[in-house]
Amino acid sequence: MYFKLSIKNVRKSFKDYTLYFLTLTFGVCIFYIFNSIEAQKAMMNISQSESQMMQTLTQLMEVISVFVSFVLGFLIVYANNFLIRRRKKEIGIYMTLGMGKGKVARLLVAESLIIGIFSLGAGLLAGVFISQGLSIITAKLFEVDMTGYRFIFSLGAFLKTIIYFGVIFLIVMVASTISISKFKLIDLINAEKQNEKQRLKSPVITVILFILSIVCIGTAYGQVLKNGIMNFDRKLLIEIILGSIGTFLFFASLSGFFLKLVQSNKNLYFKGLNAFILRQINSRINTAHISMSLISLMLFWTIGILSTGMGMTNALNSVEINTVPYDVSLILDGGGSIEEKLKEYDFNLYDYTDKFAEFSLYDYKDEAINKEKVLKRVVEYLPEGVNIHSLGSKLFMLKLSEFNKLMELQGKDEVSLSQNQLAIFSDYTYETPELKEALSKFIEMKYSLTIAEKEYEVYPKLLEDKVITSPGNQVFLALVVPDKMLESSKTFQTILSFNCKGDSKAMQRKFEDDVYGLLEKYRGIKADFKIKGITKEAMRAMEVGAKAIISFVGIYLGIIFLITSAAILALQQLSEAADNRHRYKILQKVGADDSLIKSALFKQIAIYFMLPLALACVHSIVGIKVANDIIRDGGQLNAIGNIIITAILITIVYGAYFLATYFSSKRIILKSK
């Protein structure tokens, strides 16, 4: 009986459930898509490094999916409560006819179950097919051969989606039962006639709260512009708290403040149905200011994630060129020859290359040089706020002969120094233009450096070619000196680099596989096997993996936040339309025609949708500026292009929900006429 009645109710209210159904379907679809990444490895011929990055991406998606499930769970519970509220009168009629609260709860649970099963099935079906497109995007990011492509179905993602959403719908059913148990029959019958309770009535209080909100938000803006967002410390935490409190106070005060502000302009307030529109908006904001605050913050994160995430991938592209001078670099802390060390483990470098170069970074003897003094002298032209400790304050020495071997391996000109001459070297200059400018100015001034009571002229050219293939900068500052100077110096690190012979990519993959095999062979047997290194292909895999992580996480969270925000606003307005249908009937009776009512409804929904988005955009201006300043230090940035793409996406999704809400509300309001 209950199941048949539930089916009948779902069919009857299909148009009312459309937004809810589509939102759930889309949530399920997105959830499956981004959890199916692990299965895509099956069709890709990838290296050890690429496999590790795929594993990292998969694990990160699993963690984020837990958070996403909470967001979607909140959306589903919230939406279900609004749908129950809309049907209060119907529930009251059931109870008047003798149906107990328990039976009513079972009826609603059955309806939720039906909607849940259909949305879960539709979402999974769509996710399985759309995820094939993500497979192609992933393959292109990792630059792998697609000839082995086949249709991918992720059983793990399929089961995980069913389990997660099954738990969510179980919570929804419990919440529905609890909600029904609290209803009173008199309140259900008169649900449409009840007015919203206004929590803030005093205009003075609303004005004070509004001023406090502006102060909190303004203070947060000022601090974040001053301190940045690189370090998650107490300052950043205070800025986040101030911004959040300011946002909540803004919407808490907006209903009374905004209404009084418009009422002061009589011509505007009494024009058309503006008085009715503003009263409706005032009532809704007054009771929903918490949800509007959360929506505004979610939209802010959506705009920030989508617009800056793409900028970060562009920055990674520009930095890559300067970080891979060789196919392979191996590093050994302390002294000793890497070539000889590898021979001890029956590992022959000539199986992979015809030529290699080995060099050392030396710590010059302490009694002969005041490192701190030399560092300060060399970088004295750094602008205010940039100091040697923020960049790295280690001073190394390099032998001239070894440096020239590295340049020869790169096909570049050698450096010639006299016995009383040294050169300044740094590989930080590509990402830190302030350092390059400071070092160049120092060299132009033709200063000399005193080391071990001997004065050395500075070579007239700054040396900045990368000497190590690595994922980051290695040498903040070094002096390239004649070999004789370093005869009694201590070796800090030894580095060996080479380019592979034959097919470079294939040989690098073979080298990686052989090194992994070597590690497994001697793990726990020879503890002194401490050689570490990286290949150009591994660097590419890391860069591609970082791009994939930033892109996928940004899109995943951005879309979920955007859909959740728009869906909550839509459901609130649909519930508002149902609750206030009798008010619109009164307007019709006093002479308001359909065009006036449609216009009033359109304005009301537009203002309600635009308020949280407008504040989110203001927050985003500051947030994007701070983020882009950081990204710009790492590479070129097309901020305008990123913002335009984000704006188009938000316009499409947010606009679609707005239009769907307007047309559904219009149908609810005018269907009885």
Instruction: Summarize pLDDT for 355-374 with one digit per residue, the tens.
Output: 999 998 887 655 445 455 55
Number of H helices, E strands in the chain: 21, 9
Bridge-based pairing state of the strands 454-458 and 448-451: antiparallel
pTM value surpassing 0.75: no
Shared-domain flag, residues 334 and 300? no
User: Does residue 666 fall inside a structural domain?
Assistant: no
Asked if residues 376 and 386 have their Cβ atoms less than 8 Å apart, the reply is no
Q: Average pLDDT, stretch 342-347?
A: 81
Q: Which of 272-286, 553-567, 628-642 has the lowest mean pLDDT?
A: 628-642
Does residue 569 have a pLDDT over 80? yes
Contact 179, 81 (CB under 8 A): yes
If asked whether residues 574 and 639 sit together in one domain, one would say yes
Q: If pLDDT is split at 50, 70 and 90, which confidence band does 405 have?
A: very high
Is there a single domain that holds both residue 372 and residue 434? yes
Residue 36 falls inside a structural domain: yes
Statement to judge: residues 440 and 464 lie in one domain: yes
- pLDDT tens, residue by residue, 267-307: 766 677 777 777 777 777 777 778 888 888 888 888 887 77
- The backbone torsions φ and ψ at residue 56, rounded to the nearest 5 degrees and listed phi first, read -65, -45
How many structural domains compose the chain? 3
Whether 101 and 180 have beta carbons less than 8 Å apart is answered as yes
The reply to whether 281 and 336 lie within a common domain is no
Give the pLDDT score at 251.
Answer: 85
Cα 450 to Cα 372, 380, 392, distances in angstroms: 13, 16, 22
Where does residue 321 rank: exposed (0-12), middle (13-18), buried (19+ CB within 10 A)? exposed
| 415 and 353 within one domain | yes
Residue 321, token pair as written in the block: 């060129």
Whether 597 and 647 map to the same domain: the answer is yes
Amino acid at 673: K
Which of 194, 211, 240 is the last residue in one of the domains? 194
Pick the closest to residue 396 from 419, 418, 428 (CA basis): 428
Instruction: Summarize pLDDT for 88-128 with one digit per residue, the tens.
Output: 666 777 677 667 767 777 777 777 778 788 888 988 998 88
Which of these, 633, 53, 544, 646, lies nearest to 315 by C-alpha position? Answer: 633
Distance CA 210, CA 250 (A): 6
52 and 37 in one domain? Answer: yes
Cα torsion angle, 297, 303, 305, 306, sign: positive
Token pair 């609260």: residue: 101
User: Which pLDDT band, with edges at 50, 70 and 90, does 215 fall under?
Assistant: very high
pLDDT one-digit tens code per residue, 454-479: 788 889 999 988 888 887 657 777 88
508 within some domain? no
Q: Which long-range contacts (CB under 8 A, 24 or more apart) does 660-663 make?
A: 660/18, 660/19, 660/570, 661/19, 661/569, 661/570, 661/573, 661/574, 661/605, 661/609, 662/601, 662/602, 662/605
Q: Are residues 336 and 404 in the same domain?
A: yes
Residue 521 lies in a domain: no
Neighbouring residues of 249: CB distance < 8 A, sequence distance ≥ 6: 209, 210, 212, 213, 216
Judged by DSSP in three states, 533 sits in strand
Please report whether residue 353 resides in a domain. Answer: yes
Q: How high is the pLDDT of residue 2? A: 57
Give per-residue pLDDT as tens, 129-182.
888 777 776 666 666 655 556 677 888 888 989 998 888 888 877 777 777 776
Instruction: Give me the sheet containing 448-451, strands edge to edge.
Output: 448-451, 454-458, 421-425, 477-481, 395-399, 356-363, 490-498, 328-333, 532-535
Residues 246 and 513: their CA atoms lie apart, in Å, by: 55
Q: How far is CA 196 from the centre of its chain?
A: 38
- Domain-embedded: residue 558: no
Average pLDDT of the chain is 76
Domain C-terminal end among 194, 223, 244: 194
CA distance 407 to 401: 10
CB 458, CB 441: distance < 8 Å: no
Higher-pLDDT residue of 613 and 534 is 613
Statement to judge: residues 294 and 403 lie in one domain: no
Range of the domain at 161: 1-194
Residue type, 602: F
Residue 511: count of CB within 10 angstroms of its CB = 23
Pair 308, 438 in one domain: no
In a domain? residue 125: yes
Are residues 427 and 629 in contact, defined by beta-carbon separation less than 8 angstroms?
Answer: no
Radius of gyration of the chain (CA): 33
Closest CA to 154 of 39, 57, 61: 39
Is residue 581 a part of any domain in this protein?
Answer: yes
Lowest mean pLDDT among 139-143, 257-261, 371-375, 614-618: 371-375
Crossing angle for the helix pair 594-634 and 234-263, nearest 10 degrees?
160
Residue the block writes with tokens 């520009």: 318
Residue ending a domain, choose from 173, 194, 215: 194
Helical residues (DSSP H) of 392-493, grouped into ranges: 400-409, 433-444
* Contacts for 374 with CB less than 8 Å, ≥ 6 apart: 395, 449, 451
In terms of domains, do 321 and 340 share one? no
